[in-house]
Chain A
């Protein structure tokens, strides 16, 4: 079996999407923590276009972009598939994965802003959560059905990072009464062993992101 390497960072939800996928599929891998303020020559060589993590390197060949990596994994490792086999169900999964990527940034905007910009971002975040609650999850345990799939991993940031951001900015978005399905999903998601055993430490996150927010607000 060819060697698998993951270049990532401990605090990135994008990095964790891939890490969780590898754990769920039981794929052995070597993890390298990257310093994004001092990127390794190897990272830059593997991802010359974006110079970002995560990067998966399989048998020496790099694959970049977290959702591209997730789609890739079912090929060489078809067990515990991340995508359904039916073409229509696959299209639905890809739609929601794209939604997570396109709309998810509004939560980051809420975190890194203040005033009017933050107010708008809060509004956008609530709309996004409402859409997911009403249209994406249904009564399923996971977005993938009975098992965690690609869409669950795509929305993973909502299960762990959102709570940290909410605490730092002092704004609660994911209220259980307003979003019962989504709230239940965050519990189910974090109870899965592959996820539970692979979550960044909450206190470390609070300290790290608090610091980051100050830095971002201080810079022009």
Chain B
């Protein structure tokens, strides 16, 4: 039976990146469809009536929504290659716990770093660093969160790390200095072909941000970026300019 796999996505989305990595890890062929978040397709609205958001995985016409739900689905269906989870139930629970932590803490903490100023920014940086330190402690000396091999937690986290460079350039704190193990882990992951080809082009993101702050493209072009886990759309133009230089 032929499997038909379609991914409704948006190129800078950190959540979409998770699915691209998952599909690449399993060697699954799929059709990538870029959504215009200002003009969502009928298909997207039909496949995700609850949230009307990307990414949506469509497998033989059946939609799976929410990135961490879809990643688990991919692992369970295409279970002969590159398992994302350990086999031990307790270790699986730990992996789920950390994915939940990343989803709840990382997104909010990172967003506040991006959009705050003054005292609020200092507090946001402190909170963000706390989150990173907790993750650094959990990683320890393992090459990946899953142990020897790249797995569920690594996959959940790595798309956010795409923004580390931007934070370091513009928010004046060094992730490398504060969380050296996490930094090394991020570099290790990004060397993997499946990850490297799935992450949005840094330069393309930077270019879009420059154009926006120079008024060459309207704010509506980057509308929806915040929801997709890319923060620049709600930061000041001056900050955006500095940021893309860093990128």
Residues of chain B lying within 8 A (CB to CB) of residue A58: 90
A88 touches B64 (CB 8 A): yes
User: Is chain B's interface secondary structure helix, strand, loop, or mixed overall?
Assistant: helix
Chain A 64-89, CB-CB to B under 8 Å as 1, else 0, gives 11011101100110000000000110
A72 touches B92 (CB 8 A): yes
A98 touches B69 (CB 8 A): yes
B2 at the interface (CB under 8 A from A): no
Chain B 61-81, CB-CB to A under 8 Å as 1, else 0, gives 010111011101100110000
Q: Given A87-B76, A91-B64, is A65 in contact with B69 using a C-beta cutoff of 8 Å?
A: no
| Range, interface on chain B | 20 to 34
Chain A 134-177, CB-CB to B under 8 Å as 1, else 0, gives 01000000000000000000000000000000000000000000
CA of A76 to CA of B76, assembled, Å: 18
CA of A72 to CA of B95, assembled, Å: 11
Chain B 110-127, CB-CB to A under 8 Å as 1, else 0, gives 000000000000000000
List B125-171 residues whose CB lies under 8 Å from chain A: 134
Give the shortest distance, in Å, between B154 (CB) and chain A (any CB). Answer: 18
Give the shortest distance, in Å, between A104 (CB) and chain B (any CB). Answer: 14
Residues of chain B lying within 8 A (CB to CB) of residue A75: 89, 92-93
B65 touches A95 (CB 8 A): yes
A76 touches B73 (CB 8 A): no
Residues of chain B lying within 8 A (CB to CB) of residue A99: 50
Of the candidates A49, A68, A90, A99, the one having the most CB atoms from chain B within 10 angstroms of its own CB is: A68
A178 at the interface (CB under 8 A from B): no
| Range, interface on chain A | 20 to 34
Give the shortest distance, in Å, between B136 (CB) and chain A (any CB). Answer: 13
Q: Given A49-B101, A90-B73, A131-B50, is A71 in contact with B65 using a C-beta cutoff of 8 Å?
A: no
Name the residue of chain A whose CB is nearest to the CB of B73: A91
CA of A95 to CA of B246, assembled, Å: 37
A206 at the interface (CB under 8 A from B): no
Residues of chain B lying within 8 A (CB to CB) of residue A72: 89-90, 92-93, 96
Residues of chain B lying within 8 A (CB to CB) of residue A65: 96-97, 100
A61 at the interface (CB under 8 A from B): yes
**Which residue in A49, A71, A94, A131 is a CB contact (below 8 Å) of B93?**
A71
Residue contacts A-B, CB under 8 angstroms, 27 given: A49-B134, A61-B90, A63-B90, A63-B93, A65-B96, A65-B97, A68-B93, A68-B97, A71-B93, A72-B92, A72-B93, A72-B96, A87-B76, A88-B64, A88-B73, A90-B73, A91-B64, A91-B69, A91-B70, A91-B73, A94-B66, A94-B68, A94-B72, A95-B66, A98-B66, A131-B50, A135-B50
